[in-house]
Structure 1
Amino acid sequence: MEPLLIGKGETPQVILPKYANRHGLIAGATGTGKTITLQVLAEGFSELGVPVFAADIKGDLSGVAMAGEAKPKLAERAAQIGVAGYAPQACPTVFWDVFGEQGHPVRGTVSDMGPDLLARLLDLSDVQQAVLMLVFKYCDDQGLALLDLKDLRAALSHVAENAKALGPDYGLISTSSVGAIQRGLIGLEQDSGNAFFGEPALELADLMRVDLSGRGIVNVLAADKLYQKPRLYSTFLLWLLAELFEELPEAGDLEKPKLVFFFDEAHLLFNDAPKALLEKIEQVVRLIRSKGVGIYFVTQNPLDLPDTVLGQLGNRVQHALRAFTPRDQKAVKAAAETLRVNPKLDVEAVITTLGVGEALVSTLQEGGIPGIVEKTMIRPPKSRMGSITPAERQLIIGRSPVSGRYEKAVDRESAYELLTQRANRAAEDASAAKAQADQVKADAAAAKAAARADADWKKDVRDAYGPASRGRAPAAPRAPSRRSDTVVETAVKSATRSLATSIGSQVGRSLLRGILGSLTKR
C-alpha cells in the first residue's frame, strides 16, 4: 500500500499506513500552516480509503470538500516535492454541527455521556459528582432511560424528593448537591448544550464510511460556534473518542486505520481536567490504537499535552515556534528533545526559523522506529485552501449519504415521561385516599352529631318530666271534672226520664197488640 506523502526534505517524508494508528502531533504557532498540514493529511488518508473526522474551528478546513485552483505556484511546489500528476481534486465530505446549523445535527444521550464526562461538563465537585453517579445508578436499576436534559432533571428531582426512602439502598443524598447539579444544567441549557443531548444519537458507522470509489469520507465538524464554549467542545470530542473506544472491537495491527481522528486545539482537552479524567484520557489514547483508530492532536505548544500522552505520539509534524517568553523557550527545547536527532540539523534553532508551509517531520519507519527528523516542505493540498460558501455547503449537505437521518429530533418515552406518569398516578391515588378519608371523617362526624342530638333530646325530656320518665312521652291529659247539678236541674232531669220511660212503655204495648191482632185474624 502506498504511503501517505506529507512533503519532502532531503528525502520524502511519509506516514506508513500500518503505523498511522500510532497517533500523531501537529504543533506550531498561529499562522505557521497547521491547518494546511491537517488538510494534506486528511486528503492523504481519504485517498488511502481511511475515513477522517476533524473539527473545523475557523471554517478553513471546509475547503476540503471542493477542488482547489490549478495555480502555477502550487503545481511548481508539487513538482519540487515529487507529487506525480498533481491536479485539483475534492474529497468526499460530510459536514456535521452540534447545533444543526452548518451540518447534520450531532446528538448523544445523557446515558452515553455518563456521569464522569457530564460532571466535567458541569464543573461539579467530588461530592456533587458522587450524587450524579448515584442518580445514574438509580435510573439504571429502575429502567429509566436518560436521553436528554429534561430526563436528567426529572430524575434529580425524583431522587431529591425521595431521598429518605432511597437512603438505605443508595446512601446519603444531599439535596444541596442536587440543587447545584440542577443549576449547572440550567447553565448548560443557556449555553445551548441541550442541542446535543437527545435522539437520534450519532451512529459511529456513519463516521466510518467510504464512497463508491473507495475513498474515505472526510467528516468535518463545524466548530466555530462550539469552540466558543470550550468545556462543551472538549467534552464532546472526548465523548466521541470514548464511544469509539467502547464500541469498536479489538482489531490488532491493520494495514491501515479504520478511522483517523484529528483533535484541534487539543489543549482544551486537558485544561483543568481532574486526575481521574486525565487517567481515562491517557488510557483511551494508549489502547484505542488496537481498535484501529489513530488520534492526531493539533495544538500550538507541545507542552499543552501531558508527558504520558506526548510520549505515545509516533508521527510528528512540528511547525515554527516562537521563543519570546521563558515558556516559549522551554517549549522549543522540549519539542527539539522529543524528535530523533539529526546530526545535520540544529533542531532547537531551526524550529524558530521555519517559514509558512515548512515543518520538522519525524514519522515511524519500518519496525515502528522513529525516523530522523528532517526540515520538510509540506506538499500543497489538492482541495481548496480556505472556506467554502454557504451555498456550496448546503449543496454538499443536501447530497450527503446521511441526509435526512438526523435532522428531525425524536423524543421517545424515557425517564421524564415515566416519572411524570408515576407522579400523576401517585397524585391520583393520594387524591382518592384523601377523598375516602374525608368521607370516613364526614360519616363519623354525622354519627357523632346524631348521637349528640339524641342525647340532647333525652336530656330535654328528663328536664321536663323528671328522671323517672326515662325518656317516655307523657300521657294525654284528663278532661277537667264537671260541676254538680242544682236541685231544680236534678228534678227536671228525673221527670224527663220518667216521662220518656212511660211513653216508651205505651208505644211498645200498642205495637205488640197490633201485631198479635193481625195474627189472630188470619
Structure 2
Amino acid sequence: MADDTSTIFLGLGANGERQSLALSRANRHGLIAGATGTGKTVTLQGLAESFSADGVPVFVADVKGDLSGISMPGSPTFKHADKLEGRAQELGMKDYAYSDNPAVFWDLYGEQGHPIRTTISEMGPLLLARLMDLNDTQEGVLNIAFHYADEQGLLLLDLDDLQSMLAHCAENASELSAKYGNVSKASVGAIQRSLLSLRTQGGDMFFGEPALEIDDFLCVDEQGRGLINVLAADKLMRSPKLYATFLLWLLSELFETLPEVGDPDKPKLVFFFDEAHLLFDDAPKALEEKIEQVVRLIRSKGVGVFFVTQNPIDIPEDVAGQLGNRVQHALRAFTPRDQRAIKAAAETFRINPDLDVATAITELKVGEALVSTLMEDGAPSIVQRTLIKPPRSRLGPITAKERAIIRSISPVEGKYDTAIDRKSAEEVLLAKAADAAATAEEVEEKGKEEVARRPRKTTSLWEKAGKAAAGAVASSAATVIAAKVTGRKTSSNPMRNAATAAAGTIATSIGGAVAGRFVRNLIGGLMR
C-alpha cells in the first residue's frame, strides 16, 4: 500500500479504514501517548521515516538509545523481523521493503554524535534560571547581570564568562544596586553555586562556540529525503532539567529564526519531544506560559511538534488543546491517577458511536492505538482503533562501528567537533582587573619615589635640648629681674625652675627609658 504524496499512512482501522496524517496539517502538532512497552517508540520511528521519505526534516531525541536503528535498513535476520513482516502483510503493504534513512547523530557531550552548543546569551536568563532552579530574587539578579553585560558590550558565551560576570557584579554590588535595584552578594553566591552544579551535569560542554546553526537541521539528502537528526539522550536523561531546557531552547531558536510561512503543504521540520513530561515537571507559571506561546506560534513557522509521553495528563491543558493529531496507545488502570488519565484521554477524541473509547484504551494490544488526526478541512477525524504500520528501518540500536561510519560521512562533519574560545567577558574582565592592578602598583611606586626625592630638614636631639634649656633659663632670668624691679619675692629657685621647664620640653621630644635617663642627668647637672 503506497503512501499518498499528500498524506502519511499510519495504519488500518478496525473496519479496514485507512488512517492517515495529512502533511498540510502536520504543523498542527500531535501527541503520542501510552504506557511503557505499548509501542510508542515504534510508532515514532515509523512516523519519522515517513516524514523523511516525503522530504520533511525531522528532529528526535533518542532517550533509550534504540532509535539509532533508524539510520540502518531492517533485515530478516534481526530480532522482531517476523513481527514487522507479519504486520505489513496484515495491513496489505505489498510494497513493504526494508530501507535506511539519512540520519545525523548529535550529542550534547560530543560522545555519540556531533556536539550541540549554544551561548549563554542565546539561552537567556529565563531558561537559565529554570535550568539552575533559581528563585525570583536570584533570577532578578541574573537579569541584571545580563543587562549590565549588554551595556558594557561583554559577550557571554560560556559558563566561565557568566561566572566572571557574576563575580564582577558582586564586586560592584553597591553601584549596580543604586542603578538597577538590589544586587546582594548572597544572591550572586547562590547563582554561582548553581553554576557549579550545572557544570557537574555537563552544562559546560553545552555552552560555547561554535553555536548550532538551525539551518543544519533543515536539510535534505541528494535523493530529496529529509535528514533525521537523532539526539543521543540516554546520558542526557540523567540530568532531566538540562534535557528539558535544551529542547525548549531549541524550539525557541526555531521560532525566532524561521520566517513566517503560514500553513505550508508540508512542514519545514517535525520535532519529536520524547519524555515530554520532563518539560512541565515543577515548571513555574512563567515558563509554562512561554512553552504554550512557543507551541502556539511555531505552527506558523512550519514546524510541527509531537509530544511523546506515557500519560496524556502530563501535558498541561493549554498545550494539550493545541495538539490536533493524536495516537493513543494502551494505558493501564492500576491507580486512581491512571483511571483519571484514561477518562481524560477518552474525552479528548471526537466521539465514535461504535467505540467505547475508555474501555478500548485499556484493551489495546502492543502496536495498536486509538488514532484521530486533522483532516484536510482542519476538523478532527472520528477516533478509530488502529493497527499501526511497521517501520522499514532497523528496530533497536546500531553498533558503535556503524555509528562511527555514519558520523564520518555526515554533512556537518568537522563543523562543530572542535570548540572555539574567542575573546569574551571572561578575558575582558581579567584584562581589566590586570590593568587596574598594574595601575595601582605604578601609582604606589611613583608615590614612594616622590617621597624619597623630597629634601628633609632635621634637628638633632641635643640641638632641641639646648634650645629648650636656653629658653627656660632666659624665661627664669626675666622673672627674677621683674621681681627685683617690683619688689616681689619669687616663690622658688629660678635656676631650678629653668631646669625643670627645660627637662619637660626635652621629655616631650624624647620617649621611653632614654628620655628618663637624659632628663634625670640634665636636672642633676643643673642642680649642682
TM-score by length of 2: 0.85
Aligned-residue CA RMSD (Å): 1.8
Q: 1:389-404 to 2 correspondence within 5 Å?
A: 389-404=399-414
After TM superposition, give the deviation of residue 73 of structure 1 in Å. 4.3
Q: 1:33-112 to 2 correspondence within 5 Å?
A: 33-70=39-76, 71=81, 73-112=83-122
Contact 1:21 1:292 in 2 (8 A): yes
Q: 1:255-274 to 2 correspondence within 5 Å?
A: 255-274=265-284
Q: 2:188 aligns with which of 178, 185, 199?
A: 178
Q: Which amino acid aligns with 2:90?
A: Q
Contact 1:12 1:81 in 2 (8 A): no
Does residue 353 in structure 1 map to residue 363 in structure 2? yes
Does residue 125 in structure 1 map to residue 135 in structure 2? yes
Q: Secondary structure at the match of 1:400?
A: coil
After TM superposition, give the deviation of residue 464 of structure 1 in Å. 11
CA distance in 1, matches of 2:83, 2:192: 57
After TM superposition, give the deviation of residue 396 of structure 1 in Å. 0.5
Give CA-to-partner distance per residue, 1:129-176, whole Å, 9 cap, x none: 000000000001111010000000000000110112223322221110
Contact 1:258 1:292 in 2 (8 A): yes
After TM superposition, give the deviation of residue 440 of structure 1 in Å. 3.4
CA distance in 1, matches of 2:253, 2:110: 21
Does residue 189 in structure 1 map to residue 199 in structure 2? yes
Q: Secondary structure at the match of 1:261?
A: strand
CA distance in 2, matches of 1:90, 1:194: 34
Q: 2:428 aligns with which of 411, 414, 418?
A: 418
Does residue 167 in structure 1 map to residue 177 in structure 2? yes
After TM superposition, give the deviation of residue 441 of structure 1 in Å. 4.0
Q: Which amino acid aligns with 1:16?
A: A
CA distance in 1, matches of 2:467, 2:144: 72
Q: Which amino acid aligns with 1:7?
A: G
Q: Secondary structure at the match of 2:24?
A: helix
| Match in the other structure for 1:452 | 458
Q: Secondary structure at the match of 1:352?
A: helix
Q: Which amino acid aligns with 1:258?
A: K
After TM superposition, give the deviation of residue 456 of structure 1 in Å. 5.5
The sequence identity of aligned pairs, in percent, is 60
Q: Which amino acid aligns with 2:65?
A: G
Q: 1:13-412 to 2 correspondence within 5 Å?
A: 13-70=19-76, 71=81, 73-412=83-422
Does residue 7 in structure 1 map to residue 17 in structure 2? no
Give CA-to-partner distance per residue, 1:162-214, whole Å, 9 cap, x none: 11222332222111000000000011111211111111111111111100000
Unaligned runs of 5+ in 1: 468-522
Give CA-to-partner distance per residue, 1:75-113, whole Å, 9 cap, x none: 342133233411100010000000000000111111111
Contact 1:363 1:370 in 2 (8 A): yes
CA distance in 1, matches of 2:22, 2:192: 49
After TM superposition, give the deviation of residue 362 of structure 1 in Å. 0.3
CA distance in 2, matches of 1:414, 1:250: 33
After TM superposition, give the deviation of residue 463 of structure 1 in Å. 8.5
CA distance in 2, matches of 1:464, 1:180: 70
| Match in the other structure for 1:518 | none
Give CA-to-partner distance per residue, 1:241-297, whole Å, 9 cap, x none: 111111111111100000000000000000000000000000001000000000000
Contact 1:64 1:383 in 2 (8 A): yes
CA distance in 2, matches of 1:465, 1:160: 63
After TM superposition, give the deviation of residue 442 of structure 1 in Å. 4.1
Give CA-to-partner distance per residue, 1:374-397, whole Å, 9 cap, x none: 010010100001111111111101
CA distance in 2, matches of 1:331, 1:157: 48
Q: 2:441 aligns with which of 427, 431, 441?
A: 431
Which structure has the greater CA radius of gyration? 1
Contact 2:24 2:376 in 1 (8 A): no
CA distance in 2, matches of 1:105, 1:300: 29
Q: Secondary structure at the match of 1:58?
A: coil
- The structure-2 alpha-carbon separation of the partners of 1:460 and 1:52, relative to structure 1 and needing over 3 Å to count, comes to same
Q: Which amino acid aligns with 2:370?
A: L
Give CA-to-partner distance per residue, 1:400-443, whole Å, 9 cap, x none: 11111111000000000000011111111111112223333444
CA distance in 2, matches of 1:374, 1:267: 26
After TM superposition, give the deviation of residue 46 of structure 1 in Å. 0.1
Q: Which amino acid aligns with 1:198?
A: G
**Number of residue pairs the alignment of both structures matches:** 463
| Match in the other structure for 1:507 | none
Contact 2:6 2:24 in 1 (8 A): no
After TM superposition, give the deviation of residue 459 of structure 1 in Å. 4.7
CA distance in 1, matches of 2:468, 2:233: 96
CA distance in 2, matches of 1:324, 1:251: 45
